[in-house]
Every structure is written in C-alpha cells, then in structure tokens.
C-alpha cells in the first residue's frame, strides 16, 4: 500500500511503518551519541510507544543498557488501515533492541486494567525477576474501571470561561477560542484518568508482587507551563489531575519508604505529541515557543529532554529536584528571557504575521514525523507492507 498522511484536525489517521522506524532509529542514534551512563538496568515503561514514554524507553535501553518492558494501547493494522504510530514504533524499537542484544518486550493493552498489571508482573517475574525503575508516561482520554464505569478526561477550565487567541490549524489563521468551565464531575473524571491514582495502583501491585528492587525509582511526567496557559492548563481540569499526580508522588514516598522506593514527578517541556495537540489555545503557544527556543539554540524534542533527564537530572542515581521535590526539565522553557519574548510575540501575533512570528513549519514537521511522515530518507511513493 502507498501510505499518505490523512490529517483530520489535530490527528492523522494514517501512519507510515518505515517512517516510524526511521523516527525510532534517529532517537536511538541521538542517545548512543550521548554515551553510556550508569543508570537503571531493568525498566518498566507505562505508555512506552510514543512521545515521552518512547523516548524514555530508548534512553534507558541505549543510555544504560537497560532491559525494557513497555506497556501501550495501540491498534494493529487491518487490511485497509495502517496501524497506529505507536504500534510501528514498538515493533521497530523491539527489532533494533533485540538485534543490539538488549532485552525488550511489550504488552499492548489497557494499562488501567488489573489484567494488564498482572500480565506485566508475570513477565517481570519470568524474565527479569525485578525492575529497578518504573516510568509512568500515560496520556489517556479515558479510563475504564473494573466495574465497567468509564471516566472521560476533559480539557476545560475550572473557574470561568477563558478566551484567548487560538491558531486554526486548518488554515493558519488566528481567531479567538473560548474554553468553558468543567462541571465538578468532569473535574473529578479528569483526575481519575490523568491523576496519580493509577500510578499508585501500579506501584502497589508491583510492590505486593515483590517485583520492585529495594530502592527502585519511579517517575511520572507532568507539565506546568507559563502563566498564560494557567487558566486552561495548570488551573484547568488537566492541571487538577497533575496536582493529584504531584501529591501521589509524596504519598508513594511515604507508603513505600520501608522499601526505599523513590517517586518523582518530572515536569517536562511543552512538545507536540498526540496528547498535546488536542489542547485548545496551547498549540499557538507551542509554535511561538519553538520559534524563540530554536533561535536561542535551546530547543529540545522528547528525546533531548529525556536524554537530559538521565544524563543530568538523575546523574549517579541522585535526582536534582526543586523545593517541591519536582525534577524540572521545563527549566529552559520557563527561562525569563524566553517567556518574555514569547509573551511579546503573543501580543503581536495575528493571521497576517503568524508564519513569520511562530514556527508553524516546525510544529507541522514534528506533527507529521509523529506519524512517520516527512523523513527525507523514506521514499513515500513506494508500496509498503503495513
Ligand atoms: P503520547 O500521546 O505521545 O503517549 C501516550 C502513551 O500512553 C502512548 O504510549 C499510548 O499508547 C499510551 N496509552 C494511552 N492510553 C493507554 C492505556 N489505556 N493503556 C496503556 N497505554 C496507554 O503522550 P505524551 O505527550 O508523551 O504524554 C506522556 C506524559 O507526559 C503525560 O502524562 C503528559 O501529560 C506528560 N507531558 C506531556 C507534555 C507535552 O507537551 N507533550 C509536556 C509535559 C508532560
């Protein structure tokens, strides 16, 4: 089949197997260039197939020679449809890792379920004995509980309507978008999906099954961002979930202190991923941020961020944290000079100057690459096995 991108709003419904493989290969090469570190050796990554989770898997495997077990929720190809990018990424990663003598196995299923937790525990026991690191990088739209109740996460404010500039991805115009407040039920549902409850459930299940090494480290990813996006992000429904995640790290540290388990939240940089493209108003901030950070030579993608997490922020097993016990990979994003410039641009930007003031090309390049498109090395006119 000849696979072309089919973009609908902020999602692409096709993925290119060879392009996804290229994406994984480039990330592996980046980590290899950084050199070997004395890091984790047996790592479980929950949400391992795209974005920050995939980068974490690659950084652990190729940065410190770790065996990795990845959990993801991806769709296989059918006769007519390509698989999801995370499916191809996982296949490619396993192929590279195994060829390079690294243990890698994956479980494709709903990470929220008891069943997947049990499958992972069995796999760890059989193949690795125990794990010394657990990375929690889920970005999910919904969570189904054991009794069948479904919680849906929403991207809304928690106070008043919030209106600001928003970039219309279809035609590169800027208009105003209004984000409306969530009901209390919607806030609670978002916390259920994206908060720390399931992270706690995972660590408890792994600890009860005795598959965590003494002193194992667990890290979940979060975002805070600038004041500009606070109404829709940090003080919005998703922010409530992230605050719950931050509190869960504290609870994990208290609950599992006797096992020496250390739980951290790493606050990462805003980046185009499948999860983040869905948030209103935010993509315009991303495109301006990309422009400013690239001009200053400090732009990073997922792999550069996670490379820095392992090399700097967790060097020699000691986590560098702020006064709230948070690892700050958003340190460059939130630099005063960067934010000052982003806000100056934010005030001036409109439909006429958007191409000049924001990195629209960079945004779309990242977007297409997530689905395996736009790599020079791939001939997209060729038939490909999906
Ligand atoms: P992503 O959409 O690229 O990755 C999500 C991962 O979760 C995929 O591996 C997917 O298969 C998996 N997944 C989703 N639902 C699942 C389920 N029910 N069971 C098993 N696996 C499931 O997302 P991204 O952006 O890498 O996000 C990961 C984490 O990083 C999230 O907590 C997000 O809030 C956080 N983060 C993202 C930032 C961004 O700008 N993209 C910035 C800072 C933090």
E strand or H helix at 25, and its extent? helix 17-34
Instruction: Report how many domains make up the chain.
Output: 1
* Cα angle 111-115-118, degrees, rounded to a multiple of 5: 95
- 327 within some domain: yes
* CATH label of the domain that carries residue 33: 3.40.50.720
C-alpha–C-alpha distance, residues 88 and 207, integer Å: 31
The set of residues, in sequence order, having a beta carbon less than 8 Å from that of 33 and lying 6+ positions away, is none
Contact 370, 55 (CB under 8 A): no
pTM of the model: 0.97
Tens of pLDDT, residue by residue, the chain (386 residues): 999 999 987 789 999 999 999 999 999 999 999 999 999 999 999 999 999 999 999 999 999 999 999 999 999 999 999 999 999 999 999 999 999 999 999 999 999 999 999 999 999 999 999 999 999 999 999 999 999 999 999 999 999 999 999 998 888 899 999 999 999 999 999 999 999 999 999 999 999 999 999 999 999 999 999 999 999 999 999 999 999 999 999 999 999 999 999 999 999 999 987 777 777 788 899 999 999 999 999 999 999 999 999 999 998 888 999 999 999 999 999 999 999 999 999 999 999 999 999 999 999 999 999 999 999 999 999 999 99
Ligand 1 contacts CB of residue 195 (under 6 A): no
The residues facing 46 across adjacent strands are 71, 136
- 14 within some domain: yes
Ligand 1 atom with the smallest distance to the CA of 111 is 19
Ligand 1 contacts CB of residue 238 (under 6 A): no
- 332 within some domain: yes
- And the tokens for 267? 């606050």
Classify the phi-psi angles of 117: left when phi > 0, otherwise alpha if psi is within -120 to 50, otherwise beta: alpha
C-alpha–C-alpha distance, residues 10 and 275, integer Å: 10
Ligand 1 contacts CB of residue 271 (under 6 A): yes
Q: Which of 146, 247, 159 shows the shortest CA–CA distance to 205?
A: 146
Task: Please tell me the predicted confidence (pLDDT) of residue 214.
Answer: 96
- 386 within some domain: no
Cα 292 to Cα 6, 227, 367: the distances in Å are 29, 17, 18
- 33 within some domain: yes
C-alpha–C-alpha distance, residues 140 and 116, integer Å: 15
Tell me the DSSP string of 251-305. Answer: HHHHHTGGGT-EEEEEEPPP---TTGGGSSSHHHHHHHHHHHHHHTT----HHHH
* Cα angle 281-287-291, degrees, rounded to a multiple of 5: 150
Task: Please tell me the predicted confidence (pLDDT) of residue 32.
Answer: 98
Tens digit of pLDDT for each residue in 36-59?
Answer: 999 999 999 999 999 999 999 999
Contact 153, 190 (CB under 8 A): yes
C-alpha–C-alpha distance, residues 87 and 83, integer Å: 6
Confirm whether 233 is a catalytic residue.
Answer: yes
- And the tokens for 243? 């605050």
**Interval between CA 381 and ligand 1 midpoint (Å):** 31
Ligand 1 atom with the smallest distance to the CA of 269 is 42
Mutational pocket test of ligand 1: of 47, 142, 303, 372, the residue with most ligand atoms within 8 Å of the beta carbon: 47
Task: Please tell me the predicted confidence (pLDDT) of residue 168.
Answer: 87
**Interval between CA 211 and ligand 1 midpoint (Å):** 24
Tens digit of pLDDT for each residue in 353-383?
Answer: 999 999 999 999 999 999 999 999 999 999 9
Residues of the binding site for substrate: 223
Ligand 1 contacts CB of residue 229 (under 6 A): no
**Interval between CA 79 and ligand 1 midpoint (Å):** 27
- 382 within some domain: no
b/e sequence 155-167, b meaning 16+ C-beta within 10 Å = bbbbeeebebbbb
Helix axes of 282-295 and 336-348: crossing angle, nearest 10 degrees:
120
C-alpha–C-alpha distance, residues 22 and 344, integer Å: 37
Question: What is the domain range of residue 249?
Answer: 7-142+149-369
- 1 within some domain: no
Residue among 30, 62, 162, 233 flagged as catalytic: 233
Residues of the binding site for NAD(+): 47-52, 73-74, 110-111, 138-139, 242, 271-273
- 378 within some domain: no
Ligand 1 atom with the smallest distance to the CA of 74 is 11
Ligand 1 contacts CB of residue 190 (under 6 A): no
């Amino acid at each position: 089949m000849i696979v072309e991108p089919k973009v609908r709003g902020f999602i692409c419904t096709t993925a290119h197997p060879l392009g996804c493989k290229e994406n994984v290969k480039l990330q592996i090469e980046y980590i290899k260039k950084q050199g070997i570190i004395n890091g984790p050796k047996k790592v479980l990554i929950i949400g391992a197939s795209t974005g920050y989770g995939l980068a974490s898997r690659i950084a652990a495997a190729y940065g410190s020679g770790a065996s990795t077990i990845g959990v993801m929720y991806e769709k296989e190809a059918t006769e007519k449809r390509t698989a999801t990018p995370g499916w191809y990424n996982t296949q490619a990663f396993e192929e590279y890792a195994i060829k390079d003598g690294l243990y890698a196995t994956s479980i494709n299923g709903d990470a929220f379920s008891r069943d997947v937790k049990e499958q992972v525990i069995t796999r760890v026991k059989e193949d690795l004995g125990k794990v010394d690191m657990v990375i929690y990088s889920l970005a999910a739209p919904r969570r189904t509980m054991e009794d069948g109740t479904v919680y849906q996460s929403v991207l809304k404010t928690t106070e008043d309507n919030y209106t600001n500039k928003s970039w219309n991805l279809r035609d590169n115009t800027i208009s105003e978008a209004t984000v409306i407040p969530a009901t209390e039920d919607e806030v609670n549902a978002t916390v259920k999906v994206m908060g720390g409850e399931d992270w706690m459930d995972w660590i408890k299940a792994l600890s009860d099954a005795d598959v965590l090494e003494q002193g194992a480290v667990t890290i979940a990813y979060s975002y805070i961002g600038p004041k500009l996006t606070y109404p829709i992000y940090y003080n919005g429904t998703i922010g409530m979930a992230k605050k719950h995640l931050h509190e869960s790290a504290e609870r994990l540290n208290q609950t599992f202190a006797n096992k020496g388990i250390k739980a951290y939240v790493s606050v990462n940089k805003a980046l185009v991923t499948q999860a983040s493209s869905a948030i209103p108003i935010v993509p315009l901030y991303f495109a301006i941020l990309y422009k400013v950070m690239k001009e200053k030579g400090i732009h990073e993608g997922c792999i550069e961020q996670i490379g820095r997490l392992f090399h700097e922020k967790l060097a020699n097993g000691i986590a560098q944290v702020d006064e709230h016990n948070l690892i700050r990979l958003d340190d460059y994003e939130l630099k005063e000079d960067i934010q000052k410039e982003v806000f100056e641009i934010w005030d001036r930007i409109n439909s006429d100057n958007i191409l000049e003031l924001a990195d629209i090309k960079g945004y779309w390049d990242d977007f297409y690459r997530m689905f395996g498109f736009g790599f020079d090395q791939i001939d997209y006119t060729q038939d490909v096995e999906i």
